Structures are given as structure tokens and as C-alpha cells.
Chains A and B, each alone.
Chain A
Amino acid sequence: MGSLGDLERGVMDVLWDADHPLTAYDIKDAIEASRGRELAATTVLTVLSRLEKKGLVDPDKSVRPHRYAAIGSRAEHQAELMHEVLVDSGDRSAVLARFVGGVSDEDAAFLRSLLG
């Protein structure tokens, strides 16, 4: 794809997999290695700045070159996402439409009886 959203995911993947803050060049190299395609350093910096505005990346500008780290692990963000989907909340039905949420024991027994 190579779209901006695709690159944001690529950058976050690299940061989430890293165990220490990385420079934009480290990130660029990692993405190029995994995608087999060249990436401009300015593109990486643009993506990093967007992610910073979204509160997902924490830049350390006290060192040169600047180093970047993810705010929150992948697992933490995934748990937050799943929580929004699975936990019954008043707002949830207006935000997203699930196939099915909770099924009572009674209803489950009824459905099983349909299957013969």
C-alpha cells in the first residue's frame, strides 16, 4: 500500500518491537528491511510528527539525533481497543455495531436446541 496510514502502522510496529528509543534513521532502516523498499527520511519524520500529535510517540529532543519511543505498549493499546469492543457500556452501541455481545445461559441453551 505505502499510504500514510500504512506507514504509521509500520513505524508503530518498529517502535513497539524495540526495547529502547530509536532514531528516525533506525526506524527508516527497519521499515526498509521489512518492506524491501526505500523510504525517505523526511517521510519517516512526517509520520513521527503525526504520531506524536496523536499521543502515540514520545520524542526525546534532548539528544541529537532525536530519539523516539512508543507511548504505551502494543498490548496495552490492544487491550484498550478490545475493552471498548467487549465491555458493555451505554455508549458502545452508538459507536460500533457488534455481531453479538453477551448471550444468557437460557438463550444459549435455546440456540443449541435449534442445532439438533
Chain B
Amino acid sequence: MDIPALSSAVALAFVAIFLAWPAPIVLSRAAWPARAPARALILWQIIALAGGFSMIGALWLIFDAVFPGHPWLSGVPAAALAIYLLAHLVITVSRFERQRRRHLQLLLLLSEPDPTRKRTVVLDDSAPVAYCLPRGVGSVTVLSKGLFDALDEDELAAVIAHERAHVEQRHEVLLVSFKAWRSALPWFPIAARAEGEVEVLVEMLADDHARRTQPDAVLARAILQVGRVQAESGAAGRSRQMDRFRRLAG
């Protein structure tokens, strides 16, 4: 047993534990992310990446300290964890891409291309819906006839700008990554919280894109027209969801 090496291994393990537990909790309870969602998203990514690397590194250092003189063997558990995490990422990415393609297939049969907007289709449905299928080059924005009926020109512009942000900023990369993180580490309740946070922060970024050309009141009206008002769901990340709307007070 190599005591100096063990102490650095334990130190790295503490870093991993800090990044896996108290750091995400503090970030998810903070108020400032609503004012700076882009910065908060960068911080979440740093926590997730640094957390993963420190877990892998700590595993390697611990085994190396406990079994000195077997450098390759002691690397096996760490490599196994790295492969496991990577495999979950790959599996999750392909799972969601498959679902997107299936949805797109049906969508193209049930909608008409928008004559004036690129990569946009119009769904013949009276419910006001606006969403996009973010897939990089193959992204499609979907608007319904009901949406055109319910919104005026400015509100429509705000909604389209919001969706465009999702596509252009490739938010699905972040969302799928955090989903993969959560499915790989199901015993980490924090991973579910991180995913919920990232979901809402991404909506804030898209709202900010719309706010560049439309006043907040227009966005608020569009949300009221398209959103389905319902009794409080009490879901996790709820206060951050509230932040998404409260921050529109300017």
C-alpha cells in the first residue's frame, strides 16, 4: 500500500463526491441562473464532465495505491467505468435519434411544408402547437394551423424565434447528454435534478433569443395562448420552471 498515493486518491475521490452531490444541489437551489442561464448551463456541463473525470481518476488512483506495481491492472476498473459511461451516451443518443426519426416520418405525412419558411412544416390541427425536432441539419420546426389562428404576427415571430434558438444552439446535445448521465447513474438523485434544471435553462435561452426582437409582453401573450393552463403539477425543478416565466417581468 502506497500511502502518499492513497491520500491523493482520496482527495480526488472527495472532489468527485463534491461534484456529484453538494455542488449540483447548491446550483439547483441558486436564484442567479435565472438571470444568467448560459453561464449556469456552462457550470452544469463543467460539473458533469469534471465529476465524471474525477470519478474515473479517483478509481484509478485508489486501485493504483492499493496495488502498487500493477499499473495496467489498476487501470481496469477506471477504464471499465469510462467505457460504461461512454456506452450509455452512445446508446442514449441513438435511442433518441431513432425516436426523432420515427416522429419525423409520421409528421411529414401529416403536414405540409411551410411555403415561406425554410425547414418548417404546418400541421393541420386546431390545437395551437409549436415545437421542433432538433437533429442538426435535418431539424424541422412544426407549427399548427391552430397556432396561426391563435397568434398575431408578433406573437408568431416570438414563437418562431424561440424554436429557431433550440435548433441553432443545438440544445438537444445538452439535453440528451444529461439524460445519458442520468440513465448511467440511476442511483444519483442529483442526476435527475440536473436534467430538470438543464431543461428549463435551455427554455430560458430560447426565450432570450425571442426577446431580442420582441418585447416581453408579446412573449407572455404567446405563452398564455399556447400553454395549457393546468393545476400545479408539483414536479421537481418546479421553482426553476416558475423562474422561466417570472424573468419575463423585464
Contacts and interface: CB of A to CB of B under 8 A. Distances in A.
Interface of A: 1, 5, 8-9, 12, 54, 56, 74, 77-78, 80-82, 84-86, 88, 91, 93-108, 110-112, 114-116
Given A9-B109, A99-B159, A99-B163, A104 B199 contact: no
A1 to B, nearest CB: 7
Interface string B208-250: 0000000011001111101111111100000001100110110
B227 A101 contact: yes
B179 A94 contact: yes
Interface of B: 92, 96, 99-100, 103, 105-110, 112-113, 123-125, 127, 129-134, 142, 159, 162-163, 166, 171-172, 175-176, 179, 199, 202-203, 206, 216-217, 220-224, 226-233, 241-242, 245-246, 248-249
Contacts of B199: 93
A61 to B, nearest CB: 23
B113 A97 contact: no
Nearest to A1: B113
The list of the 7 closest CB pairs from A to B, nearest first, reads A103-B227, A97-B166, A99-B130, A100-B227, A98-B131, A111-B220, A104-B232
B106 A103 contact: no
Given A97-B134, A97-B171, A105 B220 contact: no
The interface centre, meaning the residue of A78, A81, A88, A100 with most chain B CB atoms within 10 A of its CB, is: A100
A103 B246 CA distance: 12
B227 A54 contact: no
27 contacts: A5-B108, A74-B110, A77-B109, A81-B123, A82-B125, A82-B129, A86-B127, A88-B233, A91-B96, A91-B99, A94-B176, A96-B100, A96-B103, A96-B133, A97-B171, A98-B129, A99-B131, A99-B159, A99-B162, A101-B227, A102-B227, A102-B229, A102-B233, A103-B228, A103-B245, A104-B242, A107-B245
Given A110-B245, A111-B220, A114-B249, A102 B106 contact: no
